[in-house]
Amino acid sequence: MRERRAVKFELLHGGRRGPRLGRLQIGAIEVPTPAFMPVGTRASVKTLGCEDLEEIGAKLILANTYHLHLRPGADLIQRRGGLHRFMSWEGGILTDSGGFQVHSLAGLRRILPEGVEFRSHLDGSRHLFTPERTVEIQAALGSDIHMVLDVCTTYPAEERQAAAEMETTLRWAERSKRQREQMLSSGAPVGALFGIVQGGLYPRLRQRCARELASLGFDGYALGGLSVGEPASQRPAVMDATLETLPAEDPRYLMGVGTPADILDAVGRGVDLFDCVLPSRNARKGTVFTWDGKMVVKNRVYAEDDTPIDAECGCCACRRYSRAYLRHLFQVGEYLGGRLATIHSLAFYQQLMERIRQAIAEEQFSSFAAATLSRMGVGAVE
Cα separation, 214 vs 315, whole angstroms = 40
The one-character DSSP state at 39 is B
Nearer to a second copy, 72 or 189 (CB): 72
Q: Is 146 annotated as a binding residue?
A: no
Beta carbon nearer to a second copy, 43 or 313: 43
Interface positions with a second copy (CB under 8 A): 42-44, 46-51, 67, 71-72, 76, 79-81, 86-88, 303-304, 306, 316, 320-322, 324-325, 328-329, 331-332, 334-336, 338-340
Using alpha carbons, list the distances in angstroms from residue 79 to 63, 74, 75, 142, 357: 18, 9, 6, 11, 39
Distance CA 27, CA 69 (A): 25
Active-site annotation holder among 52, 96, 219, 250: 96
Give the integer Cα–Cα distance in Å for 125 and 68: 15
Give least dist CB 160 to a second copy, A: 39
- Catalytic site residue from 144, 262, 272, 275: 275
The answer to whether residues 65 and 116 touch, using CB atoms and an 8 Å cutoff, is: no
The CB-side HSE value for 70 (13 A sphere, CA atoms) comes to: 22
Measured from the CB atom, the residue of 86 and 274 that comes closer to a second copy is 86
Q: Does 82 carry a binding-site annotation?
A: no
Check the annotation: does 99 bind a ligand. yes
Minimum separation from the CB atom of position 98 to a second copy (A)? 15
Q: 333 a known binding residue?
A: no
CB of 126 to a second copy, least distance (A): 20
Residues 161 and 203 sit within 8 Å (Cβ to Cβ): no
Q: Is 292 a catalytic residue?
A: no
Helix (H) or strand (E) holding 201: none
Nearest distance in Å: CB 89, a second copy: 10
We find the least distance from the C-beta atom of residue 45 to a second copy, in angstroms, to be 8
> Tell me, what DSSP letter sits at residue 35?
E
Cα–Cα distance, 237 to 55 (Å, whole number): 38
From 37, 114, 105, select the one nearest 69 (Cα to Cα). Answer: 105
Dihedral over Cα of 260, 262, 265, 271: its sign: negative
Known binder of ligand: residue 88? no
Terminal C-alpha separation, the chain: 44
Q: 316: annotated binding-site residue?
A: no
Active site residue 240: no
Query: Which residue lies nearer to a second copy by CB, 218 or 321?
Result: 321
Query: Which residue number, 205 or 313, has a Cβ lying nearer to a second copy?
Result: 313
What residues form the annotated binding site for Zn(2+)? 313, 315, 318, 344
- Which residue positions form the known binding site for substrate? 96-100, 150, 198, 225
Residues acting as catalytic residues: 96, 275
